[in-house]
Amino acid sequence: MSAKAVDKLSSQEAEKELDRLAKDIAGHDRRYHMDDAPSISDADYDALRRRNADIEARFPLLVRPDSPSHRVGSKASEKFAKVRHTVPMLSLDNAFSDEDVADFLGRVRRFLGRKDDEEIAVTAEPKIDGLSASLRYENGVLVRGATRGDGQEGEDITANLKTISGIPLRLKGKPPAILEVRGEVFMTHKAFAALNKRQEKDGKPVYANPRNSAAGSVRQLDPGITASRELNFFAYTWGEISALPADTQSGMLEKFADYGFPVNPLTRRCESLGQMLKFYADISAKRAKLGYDIDGVVYKVDRLDLQERLGFVSRSSRWATAHKFPAEQAETVLEDIEIQVGRTGKLAPVARLAPVTVGGVVVRNATLHNEDEIARLDARIGDHVVIQRAGDVIPQIVRVLTDKRPRNAKPYKFPQTCPVCGSHAVREVDEKTGKQDVDRRCTGGLVCDAQTVERLRYFVGRDQFDIEGLGGTMIQLFHDEGLLKEPADIFALTEKPGKVSKILAAHRAALSEERRSAEGKDPVKTKKKEDREDKVVENMMAAIETRRKIGLDRLINALGIRHVGETTARLIARHYRTIDAFLAGMEGDNAREELESLEGIGGVVAEAICDFFGEKHNVKALGRLLQWLDVTPMAAPAKTSPVSGKTVVFTGTLEKMTRQEAKARAEMLGAKVSGSVSAKTDIVVAGPGAGSKLKDAQKHNVTVMDEDAWLKLIS
């Protein structure tokens, strides 16, 4: 399905789509990085991120702090010990065309203040489709190996990585005292075929593709299983390092090879855009004969001093990009259209498809976005459709094959009422623009079970209160019985053990006949099952008790405020530090202004937060919840540099670096860069031409320094 062109989107449409993309991509991150069971291909996932980035580029004021562009991957599995990465393992921005690659070079030149025709040398290497891994060496000896996880925290898989022959246990030569090498674990096509042959022989399920098999192999609890599988490793970058042995990317790879690491022999140094694109074309032509999976080419600025100047954005490097291969398509049949109601009341149409394999993954569902998209496609039940695993959390319908349409296929009529509660479903009109909302939403509000239950499910989720044992089934059951209507009711369950037990007993009795039938009417098995259920309930109640103590950032995230996710909640918590200060700030007349002053929070997010606290029923519900909780303050930022934790404002003309570079370096050192001066500002860096901000600094007695003094301070 072809999504609406970005340049045709209204700001309201863009806001809605960014909201959807944030949620959808987060779900894919969990399935890919935690479960090793992606439901879409990398090309499709990249298209999702590209769509998100394109919309954000056109609507910079709508960029969400919980945007996928701020996010990398998902949480570490509970199966292994967790490892905190000293240097975050970030991701890559993507390029999908020659023009995108040219734009990448243009951005690099502009950031560095270089001329448009000045060439920037890069290294180019095949992008391996495997599992990212980090190897830490101390005095040349491998001491720890970990997965990327969410980029900040991964899993300790040292024992498994040691079984891979391509990973040296002790390095050659004279490596740095501390060296963290990062690369990709992968499986060749030959090894993959042999593994699946053994799986079939043993009566075990086969793997979908080499990437899944490699990921599953290194995340086995038994290292012996990993050792039995033929895995490979290519080193391509580094994390923490005590001393750099080279001053270029290509030089570092040569050193890696000297130390004993496998480095992809196809890697080349390119000195022009033409050489980069030729390398991409050559690799694309060789792709089928390489013997292992790749999904594109990675370009990295070669000089390390330029890499350092370029720095990072929230989830990726400014000095690198991945030139991806195109997505795949397939034909199937649209068997049904199902309407799902989200926790915000949105009626979301989902296409149910005849199963079809695309890029090694079986696809059964596709998004249809909204009724306008269904009408644009003229999608009808029974139609033959072309799907593409790109551009959405679940695959998209690219087009309908009308020449194959059944004669009895009728135009689809989008429901005007909520399928859950029967309330009228409307498309709101923006009073400011006069434009109709692209989404139809249920007007039932709190009377709509879909919204109430989903809000509570979100509240107890892993990134919010993380109440183990209180899943969707329990929430639905207690909600149906009138015990759960708002978050405070969850903690009130602990004071109603008798009623909870009766509800669960009745629920168990209703299932007993089916259970006895399934278990062969064996009373012993049934009794054991009931005993296990009692233990589950006991554990659930204990889990609720333990979650009475909660961090401020997790509490804010759990409130379900529109546009506020994990990252935004953390930004807010770091600013206010305590729940009392946060509530006081939201009650103040300048709440929105203060929120907008925070780096990473724009007008749309600030308005959503103020709207939430402007509703008396939300404030009262939060007050009832807080009676049960002990909200712990957010820890102050670690003081790792002279400007860590300080708020800095740049004004006037900077002569020794671009404004963008100055901001990036300040943020890398732990400072908060603001666009306005207030009493909370710590430093104003004033260059020639400084105007009102300099006057504001003097008014508030803020420290003022010129560019040379600033550079001396941060050096």
Q: Is the pLDDT of residue 252 over 80?
A: yes
Rounded to two decimals, the pTM is: 0.53
Domains in the chain, ordered, with CATH? 6-70 (1.10.287.610), 82-324 (3.30.470.30), 449-547 (1.10.150.20), 550-632 (1.10.150.20), 647-714 (3.40.50.10190)
Mean pLDDT of 586-598: 86
Residue-wise pLDDT tens digits, 259-286: 999 999 999 999 999 999 999 999 998 8
3-class state of residue 518 by DSSP? helix
Average pLDDT value for the chain: 84
Asked if residue 639 has pLDDT above 70, the reply is no
Q: Hey, which residues does 298 pair with through a beta bridge?
A: 125, 322
Per-residue pLDDT at 431 exceeds 50: no
Q: What share of the chain is helix, strand, coil (3-state, %, to 5)?
A: 40, 20, 35
pLDDT tens for 383-407 read 999 998 653 346 889 899 999 999 9
Q: CA dist 106 to 59, 112, 113, 318, 366, Å? A: 21, 10, 10, 11, 36
Q: What percent of the chain has pLDDT over 90?
A: 32
Tell whether the model's pLDDT for residue 416 goes beyond 80: yes
Q: How confident is the model at residue 519 (pLDDT cuts 50, 70, 90)?
A: very low
pLDDT of residue 375: 94
Mean pLDDT for the stretch of residues 240-244: 94
Cα 327 to Cα 46, 186, 295, 356: the distances in Å are 9, 21, 10, 15
pLDDT for res 637: 56
| Residue 516 predicted with pLDDT over 60 | no
Rounded distance, CA 431 to CA 9, Å?
17
pLDDT given at position 304: 96
What is d(CA 105, CA 301) in angstroms, rounded to the nearest whole number? 9
- Among 319, 315, 321, 390, residue whose Cα is nearest residue 150: 315
Q: What CA–CA distance (Å, rounded) separates 175 from 256? A: 9
Which token pair is 39?
Answer: 């439901």
Strands 178-186 and 91-95: unpaired
**Could you say which DSSP state residue 391 is in?**
S
- Taking the C-alpha atoms of residue 335 and residue 338, their distance in angstroms, rounded to an integer, is 10
Q: What confidence score (pLDDT) does residue 77 get?
A: 52
CA dihedral 59, 63, 68, 72 (to 10 degrees): 130
Q: Give residue 34's pLDDT band: very low, low, confident or very high (50, 70, 90).
A: very low
CA pair distance 703, 712, nearest whole angstrom:
15
Q: How many CB atoms lie within 10 A of CB 636?
A: 10
pLDDT digits (tens, 9 = 90+) for 520-534: 445 544 444 555 556
Could you tell me which residues come within 8 angstroms of residue 19 by beta carbon, excluding any fewer than 6 positions away? 64, 562, 563
Percent of the chain with pLDDT over 70: 88
The first and second tokens of residue 58, run together, are 């056109």
**Residue in 93, 158, 100 with CA at minimum distance from that of residue 127:** 93
Distance of CA 573 to the CA centre of its chain: 20
Other Cβ atoms less than 10 A from the Cβ of 154: the count is: 26
d(CA 19, CA 367) in angstroms, rounded, equals 15
Question: What pLDDT is stored for residue 428 in this prediction?
Answer: 66
CA distance 164 to 141: 15
Catalytic residue among 23, 75, 79, 127: 127
Which range, of 106-115, 409-418, 635-644, averages the lowest pLDDT?
635-644
Burial 230-243 (b: 16+ CB within 10 A, else e): bbbbbbbbbbebee
- Predicted pLDDT of residue 330: 85
Angle between helices 603-614 and 579-587 (to 10 degrees): 90
pLDDT at position 393: 43
- 549 near 632, Cβ under 8 Å? yes
pLDDT mean over 579-584:
92
Distance CA 456, CA 194 (A): 46
Average pLDDT over residues 219-233: 85
Q: What is the pLDDT of residues 292-337, one digit of tens each?
A: 989 899 999 999 999 999 988 767 889 999 999 887 788 999 999 9
How much is the pLDDT for 329?
81
* Amino acid present at 611: D
Distances (CA, A) of 545 to 495, 559, 629: 11, 19, 10
CB 41 within 8 A of CB 359: yes
Nearest-CA neighbor of 97 among 263, 396, 320, 324? 324
CA atoms within 13 A on the CB side of 193: 5
Query: In terms of Cα–Cα distance, which of 260, 226, 36, 39 is closest to 140?
Result: 260
Q: How far is CA 512 from the centre of its chain?
A: 41
95 backbone dihedrals φ, ψ, rounded to 5°: -125, 140
Closest residue by Cα to residue 69 from 79, 77, 59: 59
pLDDT per residue as tens digits for the range 463-512: 788 888 787 778 888 888 888 888 899 998 888 877 877 787 777 776 65
- Report d(CA 299, CA 287) in Å as an integer: 17
Alpha helices in 481-597 (DSSP H): 487-492, 497-518, 523-546, 552-558, 566-576, 579-587, 591-596
Model confidence pLDDT, tens digit, residues 164-209 = 988 998 898 999 999 999 999 999 989 998 998 888 888 777 777 7
- Identify the residue with better confidence: 611 or 52: 52
CA distance 592 to 575: 14
Structure tokens at 186: 């992968």
Which of 45-49, 83-87, 669-673 has the highest mean predicted lDDT (pLDDT)?
83-87
The tokens for 522 are 């064996």
Residue closest to 317 by CA, chosen among 93, 578, 59: 93
For the residues 86-92, what does the mean pLDDT come to?
Answer: 88
> How far is 223 from 163, CA to CA, in rounded Å?
7
The DSSP 8-state label assigned to residue 251 in this structure reads H
Quote the CA–CA distance of 470 and 473 in Å, as a whole number.
8
- Distance CA(338)–CA(349), nearest Å, equals 6
Residue bearing the bigger pLDDT, 61 or 378: 378
β-strands 91-95, 316-324 pairing: parallel
Active site residue 435: no
Cα 542 from Cα 521, distance rounded (Å): 32
Per-residue confidence (pLDDT) for residue 249, from 0 to 100 = 97
* 3-state secondary structure at position 685: strand
Identify whether the C-beta of residue 217 lies closer than 8 Å to the C-beta of residue 229: yes
Structure confidence at residue 36 as a pLDDT band (50, 70, 90): low
pLDDT for residue 378 is more than 70? yes
